[in-house]
Amino acid sequence: MKLTGVELRRIRLPLVGEFRTSFGSQKARDALLVRAVSPDGDGWGECVALAAPVYSPEYVDGAEHLIRHHLLPPLFADHELTAEKVAPLLSHVKGNQMAKGALEMALLDLELRLRDESLATHLGAVREWVDCGVSVGIMNDIGELIDAVAGYLDQGYKRIKLKIEPGWDVKAVQAVRERFGDILLQVDANTAYTLQDAAHLAELDEFNLLLIEQPFEEEDVRSHAELAKQIRTPVCLDESINSARAATDAIAIGACSIVNIKAGRVGGYLEAKRVHDVCEAKGVPVWCGGMLETGLGRAANVALAALPNFTLPGDTSASDRYFAQDITEPFVLDDGRLRVPTGPGLGVTVSQDALDQVTTSTKYIPAVKPAGRK
**Mean pLDDT score of the chain:** 95
Under 8 Å between Cβ of 74 and 138: no
Q: What is the pLDDT of residues 262-295, one digit of tens each?
A: 999 999 999 999 999 999 999 999 999 999 999 9
DSSP one-letter code for 39: T
Q: Name the least confident of 63-67, 142-146, 320-324.
A: 320-324
Is the pLDDT at 140 greater than 70, yes or no?
Answer: yes
- The confidence band for 68, taking pLDDT boundaries of 50, 70 and 90, is very high
Q: Which residue in 48, 41, 129 sits closest to 333, CA to CA?
A: 129
Does residue 20 have a pLDDT over 90? no
What number is the average pLDDT over the span 105-116?
Answer: 98
| pLDDT of 160 strictly over 70 | yes
Lowest mean pLDDT among 25-34, 68-77, 107-116, 328-337: 25-34
Give residue 281's identity as a one-letter amino acid code: A
d(CA 65, CA 224): 34
Closest by CA to 216, choosing from 208, 231, 80, is 231
pLDDT confidence bin for 312, thresholds 50/70/90: very high
Question: Are the C-beta atoms of 176 and 160 separated by less than 8 Å?
Answer: yes
What is the number of residues in the chain? 374
What whole-number distance in Å separates Cα of residue 359 and Cα of residue 324?
A: 16
**What average pLDDT score do residues 349-353 get?**
96
50-59, 99-108, 172-181, 257-266: lowest mean pLDDT where? 50-59
pLDDT over 80 (residue 339): yes
Average pLDDT over residues 257-266: 97
For residues 20 and 108, which has the higher predicted lDDT (pLDDT)? 108
Question: What is the model's pTM?
Answer: 0.94
Closest CA to 243 of 112, 108, 111, 100: 100
Question: 191-203 burial, b if ≥16 CB within 10 A, otherwise e?
Answer: bbbeeebbeebee
The confidence score (pLDDT) of residue 373 equals: 46
Name the residue type at position 321: R
What pLDDT does 19 receive? 75
User: Cα(125)–Cα(106) distance, rounded to whole angstroms?
Assistant: 19
Question: Residue 302: what residue type?
Answer: V
Q: How far is CA 44 from CA 109, 324, 346, in A?
A: 6, 21, 8
221 within 8 A of 245, measured Cβ to Cβ: no
Query: Tell me, what's the pLDDT at 374?
Result: 43
Phi, psi of 343 (to 5 degrees): -75, 170
Q: Is residue 45 pLDDT above 60, yes or no?
A: yes
pLDDT reading at 349 higher than 80: yes
CATH number given to 5-116+351-366: 3.30.390.10
- Tell me if 252 sits within 8 A of 238, measured CB to CB: no
Expressed in angstroms, the distance from the first to the final Cα of the chain is: 19
Assess whether pLDDT exceeds 90 at residue 17: no
Residue 57 has pLDDT above 60, yes or no: yes
Domain ranges of the chain: 5-116+351-366, 120-339
Answer yes or no: CATH 3.20.20.120 is held by domain 120-339.
yes
Residue range 149-159: average pLDDT? 96
Active site residues: 163, 262
Same fold flag, 5-116+351-366 and 120-339:
no
Please check whether residue 122 is in contact with residue 108, taking contact to mean a CB–CB distance below 8 angstroms. yes
